Chain A
Amino acid sequence: MTLKASNEKERNSTSLEFSGDRQICIRRRFNAPAHIVFRTWVEPQFVRQWWAPKSQQVEMVVCRASVQVGGTFRYVIRDMAGQEFAFSGVYHEIVPSKRLVYTQCFEPMSEEGKVEITVSFFEHAGCTDVESVETYASKEALQAALSAGLEHGMRDSLQQLEELLAHSLLS
């Protein structure tokens, strides 16, 4: 098995892309084979180590998952002010090391409906490219999620705007 050194300084970049008016796609390469990346993505013992970014001063207080078709998960994070936010959902499709389909509901905004998330894992040369596509119930649901600002995505047009901003008047 060829693996890149774990202490490699270079950090893989995260890409966000918007397709249509209710979809967001997050892409990232990981320096490990798919079976490891897949387990890290779903198994609670690992999820609790990465899902709440310490640098943003949130901690994970609940991380439960029954990783099987029809099984449920519930993640709860707590911010510095002690406020808790829960995410929960159901697994619809599980193909180990390849594909994961689940729904996710951000409980404070449950009236906006569920987000369907399809995560694909592509392994090559000891690395794994992960693509997570989030599909919102409606354009409005995506926009509401945007304004909540915690977790969710943007339209493709905003992606263009971001690039524009990066190159122009804000420098």
Chain B
Amino acid sequence: MFELFMALAEPNRLQIVELLVNEPCTVLDIADRLSLRQTQTSKHLRVLREAGLVSVEVAGQHRRYSLEPKRLKELDNWLVKYRRLWDDRFEQFDRVIADINHQENQNDSKSKQRKREK
């Protein structure tokens, strides 16, 4: 998982991934669309490939890069898990505050009742 995060932590690489979501691209396409140098783009693509995020396909003279949905799915699973940790915690939190609210309300009405009795 770590290399996946490292690969995506770089803003240009994330932009490349976003671009590839739409369609497979060549290095030139990517460099052009993101205004990057071709050598720089190739370096980023190598990191993404090593992280298993993109695959390459040779089509004639060109190499076309596309996303590996399986790997992205792993990341998605992780994010879902992480959000769920907090969500589940807070669901329990809701129950705790509901109990306290309930108790406070009971105490309130008891003390009002006592005042009335006096």
Chain A residues in contact with chain B, CB under 8 A?
1, 3, 6-7, 11-14, 16, 21, 26, 28, 30-32, 36-37, 39-40, 46, 49-56, 139, 143-144, 146-147, 149-151, 153-155, 157-158, 160-162, 164-165, 168-170
Report how far A150 CA is from B51 CA in the complex, Å. Answer: 21
Write out the residue numbers on chain B whose beta carbons fall within 8 Å of the beta carbon of A157.
8-9, 11, 14
Q: How many Cβ-Cβ contacts under 8 Å join chain A to chain B?
A: 126
Contact mask for chain B residues 64-75; partner A; CB cutoff 8 A; 1 contact, 0 none: 000101001101
Q: How far is the CB of A44 from chain B (nearest CB, A)?
A: 12
Q: Assess whether B67 is in contact with A169, with CB atoms less than 8 Å apart.
A: yes
A161 contacts B89, CB within 8 Å? no
Q: How many residues of B contact A (CB 8 A)?
A: 43
Question: Cβ of B69 and Cβ of A170 under 8 Å apart?
Answer: yes
A153 contact set on B, CB distance < 8 A: 82
Could you jot down 10 A-B contacts, CB within 8 Å? Answer: A1-B108, A12-B94, A56-B84, A56-B85, A144-B2, A158-B8, A160-B14, A162-B76, A165-B72, A169-B72
Stretch from B35-43, B55-63, B96-104, B110-118 at the A interface: B96-104
Determine whether B33 belongs to the interface, using a CB cutoff of 8 Å to chain A: no
Q: Nearest CB to that of A158 among chain B residues?
A: B8
Q: Cα distance A40–B91 when bound, in Å? A: 13
List B contacts of A139 (CB < 8 A). Answer: 9
> Given A50-B93, A143-B9, A55 and B88 touching (CB < 8 A)?
yes
Q: Which chain A residues border B1 with CB–CB below 8 Å?
A: 146-147, 149
Query: Are B21 and A6 interface neighbours, CB within 8 A?
Result: no
Give the distance in Å from the alpha carbon of A149 to the alpha carbon of B74 in the complex: 12
The residues in B between 7 and 31 inclusive whose CB is less than 8 angstroms from any CB of A are 8-9, 11, 14, 17-18, 21
Contact A170 B2 (CB under 8 A): no
* Cα of A16 to Cα of B78 in the assembled complex, Å: 14
Contact check, A53 vs B101: say whether CB atoms are below 8 A apart. Answer: no
Q: Decide if B34 is an interface residue (CB 8 Å cutoff).
A: no
Which residues from chain A contact B91 at a C-beta distance below 8 Å?
11, 53, 55
Which residues from B are CB-within-8-Å of A151? 85
CB-CB < 8 A to A53: which residues of B?
85, 88-89, 91-92
Give, as a whole number of angstroms, the nearest-CB distance from B93 to chain A: 4
